[in-house]
Amino acid sequence: MSTTVIDGLPPGPTAPMPFQTLGIMLRQRPYLERQRRRYGRMFSINLLGLGRMVILADPDLIKHTFMAPPDVLHAGSRSPLRKVLGDNSLLGIDEDHHMEQRKLLLPPFKGQRMKAYEPLIEEIASAEIERWPLNTEFATARSMQTITLRAILRAVFGASGATLTELEELLPRWTDMGQSLSRFPQIHKDLGPLSPWGKFLRLRAKVDKILDGLIDQTKNDPDLADRPDVLALMVQARREDGTELTNPEIRDQLVTMLAAGHETTAHTLAWSIERLRRHPEILKRLQDEAAAGGKELREATILEVQRMRPVISFAGRHTMKPFEVGGYRIPRGVLIGLSAGLTHYDPELFPHPDRFDPDRFVGVRPGTYSWIPFGGGRRRCIGATFAHMELDVVLRLILERVELAPTDAPDEQWHFKGVAWSPKEGGRALVTRRRGPVARPEPEAPEEEVARAA
């Protein structure tokens, strides 16, 4: 039986583009949920700057789209991040170039390597949590960013000493500027050192100089073979033809990992605080579990925080050729948004989606195409296992080291930071008591289970 395929885009709201854009900017999820109720799990919207965009919120269609051939759908070449992160950035390339670079970058992010990074994250997070003020409410976002920035600079860049200090000073400024500039490709022109793009390029040149020094040091490190950091593995990686990665390639991938992994993880941690303070019964169970050396509920809580508060709301794909999905043949040149924001709140996929309920993931692996905070397919976040490990270690330390006071304040609103969504008040915490480090029994769950969940 032949099924009819319609050439063009699925139906969607007909309001003028500025109204649709405003709807998305002001109240993204409620706006999109209204469209889903009206048009179903696949519809089109029309946005300022992006044009006609197809939204997908159906796991089968999401699977089909994630699995599409790499020459039909691109994630990189049309991304506004390409110019910001550099021509070699994994986020800005496609097809064979993307597969080649991805294959070289993947090994250090495999599940079994995470054990090597855990003590480092623990050291970084412990020092930061020690500095949290007692008995006074504060936004955790900045502190979480300090942890996640240092984690990437040390575990991924292998930076230490003065280089670490310099990068900690320069890179947050550079990523902040990059996030804002990625939204305005019209001003990507170097009009001198005072122009926004000119300032951005000059800051990047400073970063590149430091990174070149770091790459040279790493290449000449007599202990290179024993180093666990990602840079050490990158300088030893060889392409199929035996050649090394060039310095510009390594630099672009390093800053890409920083840009992709630092705020996303920090915002997820800030959201975890926001969620847990509003659910004291879960908080208490998590504390008891941590004290007993367990982690099942904590693992589930991380999955649930990422379901309810996915910091990246869409994985984007651009049609480079006509692409058939859900009975439509989408023409070339259209952006498809695979929507975590909508899928995660679909009551048929996650009953009572507005309820923060980590138990829904206890002993249950989330669906690959319904739980998609890390995207999917050949573009799935390469740092997912690293991020999951980091979230787990930091949350455990918070549960063990401080008493987090519950609150009956309203939920924090979503705040768009240019690429990722953070809690509007920065994930406010009130810490009433500090506890000493605890001696923990060995964890029971095998490492592979953590990796699979992530």
Site residues (CB under 6 A) for ligand HEM? 75, 90-91, 102, 152, 156, 256-257, 260-261, 264-265, 268, 311-312, 315, 373-376, 379-383, 386-387
- Residue with Cβ nearer ligand HEM (197 or 421): 421
CB of 359 to ligand HEM, least distance (A): 21
Element (H, E) at 145: helix 141-155
Specify whether the CB–CB gap between 283 and 404 falls below 8 A: yes
CB of 106 to ligand HEM, least distance (A): 9
- Residue with Cβ nearer ligand HEM (57 or 430): 57
Type of residue found at 309: R
- Residue with Cβ nearer ligand HEM (261 or 430): 261
CB of 46 to ligand HEM, least distance (A): 22
CB of 382 to ligand HEM, least distance (A): 5
- Residue with Cβ nearer ligand HEM (264 or 339): 264
CB of 225 to ligand HEM, least distance (A): 22
Which strands, in side-by-side order, build the sheet including 42-47?
A: 42-47, 51-56, 335-339, 314-319, 73-74
- Residue with Cβ nearer ligand HEM (35 or 88): 88
- Residue with Cβ nearer ligand HEM (10 or 92): 92
CB of 284 to ligand HEM, least distance (A): 25
d(CA 280, CA 284): 6
d(CA 49, CA 425): 28
| Long-range interactions of 350-359: CB distance < 8 A, separation 24+ | 350/307, 353/308, 356/275, 356/278, 356/279, 356/282, 356/304, 356/308, 357/304, 358/282, 358/297, 358/300, 358/301, 358/303, 358/304, 359/297, 359/300
d(CA 394, CA 377): 28
